[in-house]
Amino acid sequence: MQEMGQRALDLGVPMSVHFDITYRCNERCVHCYLDHDDHGEMTTAEIKRVLDELADAGTFFLTFSGGEVLMRRDFFELLEYARRLMFNVRIKTNAVMIGPDEARRMLELGVDQVQVSIYSQRPEVHDAITKLPGSLRRSIEAIRFLTRQGLRVTIANVLMTANMRDHGGVQALADELGVQYTLDPTITPKMDGDTSILDLRIPGAELKSVFRNESLVGNVEAFCAPPPLPDEDVMDGYPCSAGHTLAYISPYGDVFPCVQFPLPSGNVRRQKFLDIWNHSPELNEVRSIRAGDLPVCSTCSHVGTCTRCPGLAYMEGNMRGPSTADCEKSFERTGIRSANMLRRELPLPSAPLIQIRPLSA
Amino acid sequence: MSDKHMEKYIAKSSAIASRLLGGEMMIMSAADSTFFTLNPVATVIWQAADGRTPLSEIVAARVCAEFDVDPETAQRDVELFVDQLSRHGILQVSDSPFPDSVSPTEAA
């Protein structure tokens, strides 16, 4: 698979596309970055045409997401169309609207994987985040419908202040349901630039405990090890797949490098997807950036191992700049401050007075 | 037994994803997420698996015509390939043509 990813990169193929087919949703999650009003979503025919174009462009992995995908009455028509075009389809959903019939249809259409958002094993916490009473019960019920059909399900657990102590409980729930579990401590600004929801990000001390949880990260010693010295390969490397082998399409046809990178790069209502992919100045600018070009991050000891998100950096004002949330992750993981933290003299919420760094680092 | 009775027909399973990447076909099984890549010869056979064209015709018209290989070797290797993919549930094999709706459409 890694080999195919490299080949797609070499050939400039958008191997993965995240397609939000609606921003409408039946939940109102407190941390959500979207505006749920419908400002003119693409029609069924428009989306089918875009799917044709994606297939022609070589896209293999197609993620249908939202909003809540099942808010579209034509969802299964779109899913069937996508599967006839032989995409590997993954679905991100809150699953509240999935019953036995929907689960069976997803299996019949050969869906590869369904990712369901669960915030807590406690209804009072989960439902308070989604603002939909009964949502935890309904989501869990739906997961059972999906697994009974034999579909692969992953529980996605976004961590925020309201549920930061519940990841163990959600992980146990995933085990009980026989599904995969993934945790994400990233809260992103709203698409319109509003950063108020960033207050929901978990504090550094909690992040640190997550990074030292063996059931989440595997080998804690290796995961939290000081970063190795970066070599030339690191400096010539790309920050991530956004705009290289990955694209994002909004319900209004806007094309971005990634769902978390709201850099307008074209619109499939006005241009063919492949023309945008091949010729957009914005995407070409994203592709031109190497780690060595990042003015602050290239001087940082974490440059080779940091999860720096160029989209979050863009939302902070500069796609070549640091992503502060990732600086904090690198620090909490290793105990070593990032170049950006040193530059900005950011407060260190839980930094020990004396830090010992092995000479080999 | 006549040749007609020994004929095979092949169709792509509906539970797979596939796409051509740089001349090689990527295939992933939805049943178990097994991932395969096919070399150019196997890709030609895959693309010709429409459920209606006899396998022997695919070998003669596509494999032997496009690649430098004798018919006996081609037929033997193709049957081995078809057997492997059918065991993974990626290709369906039948001794009669499949209904029209079986093989999905495919880009590239």
Strands (E), chain A: 16-20, 61-65, 88-93, 113-117, 153-158, 180-184, 246-249, 255-256
On the question of pLDDT at B108 being above 50, the answer is no
Residue B105 lies in a domain: no
pLDDT band at A355; cut points 50, 70, 90: low
Of A4, A55, A152, the CB nearest to B26: A4
Q: pLDDT tens for residues A234-288?
A: 998 887 899 999 999 999 999 999 999 999 999 999 999 999 999 999 999 999 9
Q: How is residue A307 annotated by DSSP?
A: -
How many distinct structural domains can be found in chain B?
Answer: 1
* B48 found inside a domain: yes
Q: What pLDDT, on a 0 to 100 scale, did the predictor assign at position A69?
A: 98
B14 contact A CB<8A:
yes
Interchain CB distance below 8 Å, A88 and B106: no
Q: Which two tokens stand for residue A31?
A: 């941390």
Chain B touched by A4 (CB under 8 Å): yes
What is the ipTM for the molecules in this complex? 0.82
CA closest to A60 among chain B residues: B19
All residues of chain A having their beta carbon less than 8 Å from the beta carbon of residue B35 are: 1, 4
Would you tell me how many other CB atoms lie within 10 Å of the CB of residue A216? 18
Choose from A60-64, A338-342, A345-349 the range with maximum mean pLDDT. A60-64
For residue A224, the 8-state DSSP code is T
pLDDT digits (tens, 9 = 90+) for A45-104: 999 999 999 999 999 999 999 999 999 999 999 999 999 999 999 999 999 999 999 999
With CB atoms and an 8 Å threshold, state whether B19 touches A86. yes
Give domain status of residue B104, yes or no.
Answer: no
Report if residue B103 sits inside a domain: no
Tell me the average pLDDT of chain A. Answer: 93
Residues spanned by the domain of B52 = 3-96
Confidence band of A346 (pLDDT split at 50, 70, 90): low
Of residues B17 and B67, the one with the higher pLDDT is: B17
**pTM, whole model, 2 decimals?**
0.90
B108 lies in some domain: no
Greater pLDDT, A295 or A239: A295
pLDDT confidence of residue B103: 55
Question: What CATH code is carried by the domain that includes residue B81?
Answer: 3.90.930.60
Is B26 inside a domain boundary? yes
Query: How many contacts does A have with B, using Cβ atoms within 8 A?
Result: 66
Geometric angle at alpha carbon A173, from A33 and A215, rounded to 5°: 85
Residue B101 belongs to a domain: no
Q: What is the pLDDT of residues A217-235, one digit of tens each?
A: 999 999 999 999 888 889 9
